[in-house]
């Protein structure tokens, strides 16, 4: 099997999974936790006609209460710590957290200082890391594919609990 | 108004078929840095120059290890620039998303 075949199968699987698991839609709440705005520009690019995230049934929503997934960018500055935790608590279960960009993964170029805590995983469990400074829109789409694989496991866990 | 409609129709479809078809990054794109174990001399020049400090060299009695984490890498290409033996190269690959941080590590070793 070539790489092209593999990617093609992955794309089809993403579409099928989103339709099956979320009733045709996956809602994303984008949280800027002190990012330099490069990642936000890439997220904006995801909804333009070229990358068009809506064709997969993925929507960017305006409130964490409507969201299935948090897309966190930035190294989590001291001022955004509480806001990020509140957003996380407001998101209904099952929820996914995706750390987008090198800053959200590990602190990146900001590192760990008085004002920046260095990574989202200090505060909440992170499901998928998308490195890149900033990641290409295609890399973000790939990250979402990886994340959707993961939410299936989470839903199963909740079903077992209930 | 009419001109705009004509222009829109002429443009056609612009949406890329990305997950269905691979999208190759343009020439000069700085993607995943790759270590070439045969060329590396473990001089540690890249560890000194890396701005976020995600490359590190550990020396033990019998083994030297060079670790590169893509988690935190800003893809500036300074390691590639400074490497005297050309053992680090930035590739075109950008699909790096992973579920664990350990998957984002590249480690090369040599025994002394």
Split into its structural domains, chain A has a count of: 1
Q: Is the dihedral of CA B9, A47, A35, B88 positive or negative?
A: negative
Does any CB of chain B come closer than 8 Å to the CB of residue A136?
Answer: yes
> Does the complex come out with an ipTM higher than 0.90?
no
Q: What percent of chain A has pLDDT over 90?
A: 19
User: What is the pTM for the complete model shown?
Assistant: 0.84
In chain B the domains, ranked by start, together with CATH numbers, are 26-111 (3.30.70.3270)
> Region B26-43: what's the mean pLDDT?
87
In-domain check, residue A54: yes
Going by the DSSP 8-state scheme, the letter that residue B18 receives in this structure is T
Residue A4 lies in a domain: no
Nearest to A139 among B73, B94, B101 (CB): B94
Q: What is the CATH number of the domain that holds A129?
A: 3.40.50.12280
Residue A9 in any domain: the answer is no
**Given an 8 Å threshold on Cβ–Cβ distance, is A50 in contact with B16?**
yes
Tell whether the model's pLDDT for residue A138 goes beyond 90: no
> Confidence class of residue B6 from pLDDT cuts 50, 70 and 90?
very high
CB contact under 8 A, B71 and A128: no
Of the candidates A14, A50, A107, which has its C-beta nearest B72's C-beta?
A: A107
A20: pLDDT strictly greater than 80: no
Phi, psi of A150 (to 5 degrees): -75, -35
Nearest C-alpha in B relative to A133:
B74
Q: Which of B11, B19, B69, B106 to mutate to test the interface with A (most CBs of A within 10 A)?
A: B19
Q: Is residue A61 part of a domain?
A: yes
CB contact residues (below 8 A), chain A span 18-47, against chain B: none
Contact A131 B18 (CB under 8 A): no
Summarize the confidence of residues B38-46 as an average pLDDT: 86
Contacts of B53 in chain A (CB under 8 A): 111
Question: Residue A18 domain-assigned?
Answer: no
* Residue A105 belongs to some domain of the structure: yes
CA distance A99 to chain B (A): 10
B55, with CB counted inside 10 A (0-12, 13-18, 19+), is: buried
| Residue A78 per-residue DSSP state | G
Helices A137-161 + A38-46 axis angle, to 10: 80
Give the mutation candidate from B25, B71, B104 for the A interface (greatest A CB count, under 10 A): B71
Count CB neighbours of B18 within 10 A.
18
CB-CB under 8 Å, A11 with B19: yes
Helix, strand, coil: what percent of chain A each, to 5?
Answer: 50, 15, 35
* Substitution target from A74, A131, A153 for chain B, most B beta carbons within 10 A: A131
* Residue A156: band (very low, low, confident or very high) from pLDDT cuts 50, 70, 90: low
Q: Does some domain include residue A14?
A: no
Q: Which domain holds residue A129?
A: 25-161
Q: Could you tell me how many residues make up chain A?
A: 162
Calpha distance B83→B57 (Å, rounded)? 14
Query: Which of residues A25 and B77 earns the better pLDDT score?
Result: B77
Whether A151 has a pLDDT exceeding 70, the answer reads no
Got the DSSP string for A97-162? Answer: EEEESHHHHH-TTT-S-SSB-S-GGGTS--SEEE--SSPPHHHHHHHHHHHHHHHHHHHHHHHHH-
SS3 A77: strand
- Whether A124 shows a pLDDT value over 70: the answer reads yes
d(CA A22, CA A92) in angstroms, rounded, equals 13
Please list every residue in chain B whose beta carbon sits closer than 8 Å to the beta carbon of residue A50: 14-16
Question: Rounded to whole angstroms, how far apart are CA atoms A121 and B106?
Answer: 21
């Amino acid at each position: 099997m070539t790489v092209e075949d593999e990617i093609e199968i992955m794309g089809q699987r993403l579409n099928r999974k989103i339709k099956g698991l979320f009733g045709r839609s996956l809602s994303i709440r984008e949280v800027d936790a002190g990012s330099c705005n490069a990642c936000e520009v890439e997220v904006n690019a995801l909804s333009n006609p070229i990358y068009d995230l809506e064709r997969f049934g993925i929507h960017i929503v305006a409130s964490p209460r409507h969201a299935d997934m948090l897309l966190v960018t930035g190294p989590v500055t001291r001022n955004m710590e509480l806001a990020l935790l509140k957003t996380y608590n407001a998101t209904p279960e099952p929820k996914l957290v995706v750390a987008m960009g090198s800053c959200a993964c590990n602190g990146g170029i900001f590192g760990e200082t008085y004002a920046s805590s260095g990574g989202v995983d200090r505060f909440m469990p992170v499901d998928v890391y998308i490195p890149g400074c900033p990641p290409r829109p295609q890399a973000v789409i790939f990250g979402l594919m990886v994340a959707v694989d993961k939410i299936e496991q989470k839903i199963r866990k909740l079903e077992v609990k209930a | 108004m009419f001109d705009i409609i004509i222009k829109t129709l002429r443009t056609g479809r612009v949406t890329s078929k990305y997950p269905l078809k691979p999208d190759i990054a343009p020439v000069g794109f700085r993607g995943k840095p790759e270590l070439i174990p045969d060329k590396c001399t473990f001089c540690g020049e890249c560890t000194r120059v890396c701005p976020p400090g995600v490359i590190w060299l550990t020396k033990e009695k019998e083994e030297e290890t060079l670790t590169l984490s893509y988690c935190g890498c800003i893809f500036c290409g300074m390691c590639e620039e400074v490497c005297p033996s050309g053992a680090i190269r930035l590739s075109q690959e950008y699909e790096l998303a992973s579920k664990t941080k350990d998957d984002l590590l590249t480690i090369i070793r040599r025994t002394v």
